[in-house]
Structure 1
Amino acid sequence: MDPAEGLIDDPYAVYARLRDTAPVHRVAGPDGSPAWLVTRYDDVREALANPLLSLDKRHALPGSYQGFALPPALDANLLNMDPPDHTRIRRLVGRAFTPRRIEQLRAPVRETAGRLLDALGPHGRTDLIASYAAPLPITVIGDLLGVPDEHRRDFRAWTDALVAPDPARPGAAKEAIVAMLGFFTGLLAAKRKKPADDLLSDLIAVRDADDRLTEDELMSLAFLILFAGYENTVQLIGNAVLGLLTHPGRSVDPDQLPSAIEEFARFDGPALLAIRRFPTADVTIGGVAVPAGETVLLSLAAANRDPRRFPDPDRLDLGRDTSGHLALGHGIHYCLGAPLARLEMEIALSALLERLPDLALDGDPAELRWRPSLRARGLLALPVTY
C-alpha cells in the first residue's frame, strides 16, 4: 500500500488499516526510498528504546536512505546521534529544561498569551494559527534562546519549507537551509561578541570554555532547539484547539487541564512518525525480520490509536488514562523540550478558554486544510469566530 494515499487528510484511518493488516509493512517512505513501517503500540514502544536501532545515518545501507540533506553545521544534532555523543550533548542542554527553569517561564508565557489575545479584541474572526498558535511558541523559544525580534518573522516560512515542501517550489527547501545557516552563523557571532542572559550565550560559554561542543554541534543544537521548540508546539496547540471545537463535551475544568493535554497529544499529536532508525544488526520487529542498515519508520500516530493499548482510541476522551502515550517519544530520545511544550499548551489553552469562552470553528471541519507532510500533523489555518 502507498502510505501517502490518504495520509494528509485522514492519517488515522490509513494507519488503522495498516495496523489491522499487519504490525510491520514494507512501504515507500516520505523521501520515496524503501522503509519498514511499524504501526502497533507495543512494537513501536519497544523499538523506540531498542539500542540496536540507530539514529546515525552512517548505519544506513548505501543508497537505501535518501532523506533530507542538511549541511554539517546543521546536521550534527541530537536527531542524528547515538550515545555517547547523544548523552554528552543532551546532558549539556538538559540544564535549560529543568523543572525549575521551565516554571520560571510560566509568567512570561502567560504574559505573551495575554498580549496576543488582547490584540484579537473582544469579538471577531481570525486564523488562530497565524494569530495565536504560531506566534506564542516562537516568542517563547526566541526569548529562551535570545533571538532578536526582527529575526523571528521569517522562521515560520523556513520551517514550512523544510517540514512541508511545496512541490511548486522545488528549490524552496534549499533556499531555507541557506537562509537558516546564515541566520545562525550571524546569531552565534553576535552572542560571542555580546553575551546575554539566554540559552545560546550559555551554550557558547560551554563550547568556548572547555571545548565540550564542537562548532558544528553548537550550531546544530541551536537550530534543533529553535526548530523543534517552535514547530511541534504550534501543531500541539492548533490540533488541541481543533479537538475542543469539534468534539462533544469540550468544556475543560482548569484543574483537569494537565491531564487533558496528554489526551490532546495522544489523540492528534504533531508527529506522525518518529525520526527514522537504522538497525546496526539484523532485528526482528513484530515478528518481521528487518535487515541491518534498512530504514525503520515508527508510527507514533498509529501506536497512539492502537485499541490494544487505548480502548476506543478514535474518541477524544479528556478523562482517559493516557499513561504511556508516545506523542513525545520514549526512551533516551524522548522529547527534550516536553516540559516546555506542556507548559505552553496549558497556558495557551487556559487563557483561550477563559478569554474567548464562545470560540467556535468558522466553517466546515471537512474543509480544513492540513500541511502536506507525511511526517508532521498540523493545520495550515484554523479559522474561528469569537
Structure 2
Amino acid sequence: MQNHITPNFSFAPIIPERASGSRVWDTEGREYVDLAGGIAVNALGHCHPKLVQALHEQSQKLWHISNIYTTRQAQELAAKLVNHTFADKVFFCNSGAEANEAALKLARKYGRDRSDGSKTEIIACTNSFHGRTLFTVSVGGQPKYSKDFAPLPEGITHVPFNDTAALEAAVSERTCAVIIEPIQGESGILPADPAYLEAARRLCDRHGALLIFDEVQTGMGRTGKLFACEHSGVVPDILSSAKALGCGFPIGAILTTDAVAPTFSPGTHGSTFGGNPLACAVASAAFDIINAPGTLAHAETQGGKLRTALERLGRETGVFKQVRGMGLLIGCVMADAYGNRAGELVSQALKDGLMVLSAGANVVRFAPSLLLSDEDLHEGIRRLKTAVQHWLQAV
C-alpha cells in the first residue's frame, strides 16, 4: 500500500484490519495479542459491545452542535467525573495535548489574575511528556521533542523528577503551576514517590501556585484506581485526562475546582469539537464500566500477574533487569547488556504475534486492556518468550 501520510510517523510493517477484546487481525488475516492497548487508550479492549452500542445509538441522534450549546451527553459525563473525583468543573477537548494545553493556560491566567503579571512561571520535570503542541512540548522536559521548534515559549523551569530538594529550590512566588505525571510514561514508566507529590502539594499551597497532575496515560483505571494520584492521597487543583477516557474515541478533559474554574471566563478558551455528543456518549459508557469496583480490582489483579510473569521471564532470559509500574501500566527495563535496544525487541514481538510498546530506548512498555483475561495474558507472555528467544539468537 502506498503511503500518502507525512513521514513524521514510522509505521509498523502491518496494517491492522479488525479487532476484538485483546486480539487484533491484520489485512493478511494474521492474529496478534494486544498488550499495548493503543498506547494505554483501549482500556476496555477493542470494540467493547457496550461502547459500540453507545456510539451507534448516539450516531442516530446528534453528532455535532458546536460549543454555542451544551448537550445532555456532555453534562452527564461531566457529572460522573465530578461526582467521583475532587473536581467541581470539567472542560472538554479532543486529546491529551489539548487537555494539558488548557491546564497550562488556565494556570497561567490564574497566576496573572492574582499578581502584577509576574506569577507566570511553570515548573515541570525533566524527561516528562505532556503533548505535542508548541506549549506542551516546551513544558515536557525532553529536548528531542522541542529543539527543532525554537524559539520556545518562555517562563518554564525543569527540575529532576522525584527530587524534592530541587523542587523546593525552584518553586517561588513567581510560580503559577507545578505539573507532574504521577507515573512518567514516555520516559520509562517511572512512578513518582508519594513524598514527592506531597511536597509538591505543600509547596504550591505555600506559594499560591496550582498543582497539575497529568493523568492522560495513568488515569481511567490504568493503575487499579480511577486516577493514579489516588494512591498517594494527594489532591491536585487541575487534572488532565484523555487516552482511556474515550477508550479509542478521541476525547480529552481537564478537571478542576470551583476556586480555579472561574478563571476561564467566557471567551478565554474553547474547542470546536470539545464535548462532542458522540465522544461524550462513548466516554460516559466507558466510565461506568471502568469505574466499577470489579473492573478496578481486576486491573490490579491482572497487573500483579503480568508483572510476576515478566519478572520471571527477565530472570530466565536475562533480558530485563527491572520491572516497574502500577496496575496495568508496566515497564521492563532492559538489562545492561541490551541497553537502549527495547525497540528491537518490540519489533521482534510483533513478528511473533504480540503488540507491545517501548517507553524511551531502554524500556518495553505494557498497557493492555483493563479487562485482560488470563488466557490472553498467558498467550501474550508465551509469545513474548518466543520473541525474546528469537531476538537473542539474532543479537
TM-score of the superposition, structure 1-length normalised?
Answer: 0.27
More strand by share: 2
TM-score (norm 2): 0.27
Structure showing the higher helix proportion among its residues: 1
